[in-house]
Amino acid sequence: MTDPAPLAPGDTAGRPAPVLDWTVAGLADPVPLARALIQRQSMTPVDDGALDVLQAALETLGFSCRRMPFSQPGTPDVDNLYARLGAGGPHLCYAGHTDVVPVGHGWTRDPFAAEIEDGVLYGRGAADMKGGIACFVAAFARRLAEGGPPSGSLSLMITGDEEGPGLNGTKRMVETFAAEGEHIDDCIVGEPVNPDTMGEMVKVGRRGSLNVQLTVHGRQGHAAYPHRSDNPIPRLMDMLAALTAEPLDHGSEHFEPSTLVITSVDVGNPATNVIPGKATARFNIRFNDLHTGRSLVERLRDTILAVQKGRPGTVDMDATVQGESFLTPPGRLSDLLQGAAERVTGRRPEISTSGGTSDARFIKDIAAVAEFGLVGRTIHQADECAPLADLESLTEIYRQVIDGYFAA
C-alpha cells in the first residue's frame, strides 16, 4: 500500500466506527475501546476527541472526570484527563497518554482504521499506548462486575503531551495535585516496557537524560594559509576524545552504566578551501543514580576547560537536563505486577531501569511508581500493532493487580 495521505482531525475517511457497548459488561472487553481510541488521530498536541471517548467509558464505570487543559507561552495548548473513583486510601493511580507520534512512512494499512488481521490489532497507538489504556479500563470493568468497587481510590491520569515537549501534560498535572493536596500512594505507568514478549519486564526507575551542544569558536580563513586562521575542528575533536576516553561509570545496584553518545558533528562548511569559524557537536548522556544532571555538567565543563586551556578561541556549552534518574525500590507494587504477570504469562518479569525517559520521571515526585504495559517491539514504527492475546493478557494482569492491591 502507498503511504496514507494525512487526514484532517476527525476525518474517518469513510471508515466504519467500532461498535461500543457502553455498559460495564461491554467495557470488560478491551478491544472495542482500543479501536475507538486508535481511530482518533491524536498526534501531539491534537486530541481529536480521544479524551472524550475515554471519559465516556470511565463515567460509565462511575469515575468522576476532570479535564485539565494547560498552556504556556511558546508551547501548544494540551488537554489532559484525571478520573477518580473513591475518596479514601489506599489510592492506586494508572498513568498513560492518548497522544501518538506522527504516522511516518511505510504503512501497509490505514494507520487509523484500527484493523484486526489474523488476531492482531493494527494502528498508530495500538501498543503505545491506547491499547494499554483500554486494558486498564477493561480490567476495572471486570473487577466492578465481579467484586464491586474497591475499598479505597482508583484513578487514571491521562495526558495528551507525552510524545511531545512534555511541558503541559503530566508535569503540570503533578504540580497541580501537589498544590491541591491530592494524594496518590502508588502509580502504574502503562508504557509498553516488555521488549518482545508479555511478562518480560517491570520498570521501577529510569536513567536521567542530558542533552549537550558544544560549540568551539575559531577564526575563519583560507585553507592554504592555516597560520592566518584558527581552526576550531581539532580542538573540538580533542574535546570529544577526552569526553569519551573513559566510561562515566560502571553501573550501580539497579542501573546499567551511564552512556555518552555523540549524535552530531557539524561545521556548516560547504567549501573545500575554507577553514570554518566554528565547529559544533551534540551529544546525549543517559545517566544512572551515581550522577545528577548538575554533577555531570560540572564534570563536562572541567574536562572541556582542561582541553581548551592555553589554546586560542572560545568554547560554549549549552546543556539541558530532560530528566533526572530515579528509582522506586522494588516493593509491594512491583511485587504485585510480577506475581500477576507470572500467573498469566508463565514468566516472572525482571526488574529493570533500562530504556529512555517516560512521564514516570514526573510522577515519582508524588507517588511510588512502577511501569508495565504491552510489548514495545513495534512502537513508533509503521504497522504498529498489538496481538489480541496480549491485550487479553494485560487486562487480566491489571485486574489481578487491582484485586491484590485492594485485598487488604
Give the annotated binding-site residues.
97, 128, 163, 191, 380
C-alpha span between 369 and 190 (Å, rounded): 11
**Do 103 and 44 touch, CB atoms closer than 8 A?**
no
Place of cell 503533578: 174
Select which of 47, 79, 99, 289 is catalytic.
99
Q: Residue 245 to residues 5, 72, 249, 316: CA-CA distances in angstroms?
A: 47, 41, 12, 21
- Give Cβ neighbours of residue 373 (< 8 Å, ≥ 6 apart): 96, 129, 132, 189, 190, 191, 192, 193, 194, 394
Residue whose cell numbers read 501518538: 100
Residue 69's nearest CA partner among 43, 51, 84 is: 51
* 396 labelled catalytic: no
Question: Active-site residue among 162, 186, 324, 384?
Answer: 162
Contacts of 300 by beta carbon, 8 Å cutoff, 6+ apart: 212, 243, 317, 319
SS3 168: coil
- Which residues are known binding-site members for Zn(2+)? 97, 128, 163, 191, 380
Helix (H) or strand (E) holding 300: helix 293-308
Is 99 annotated as catalytic?
yes
Closest to 145 in 3D by CA, of 403, 407, 404: 403
Q: How far apart are CA 92 and CA 368, in angstroms?
A: 10
CA distance 97 to 54: 11
| Residues classed as catalytic | 99, 162
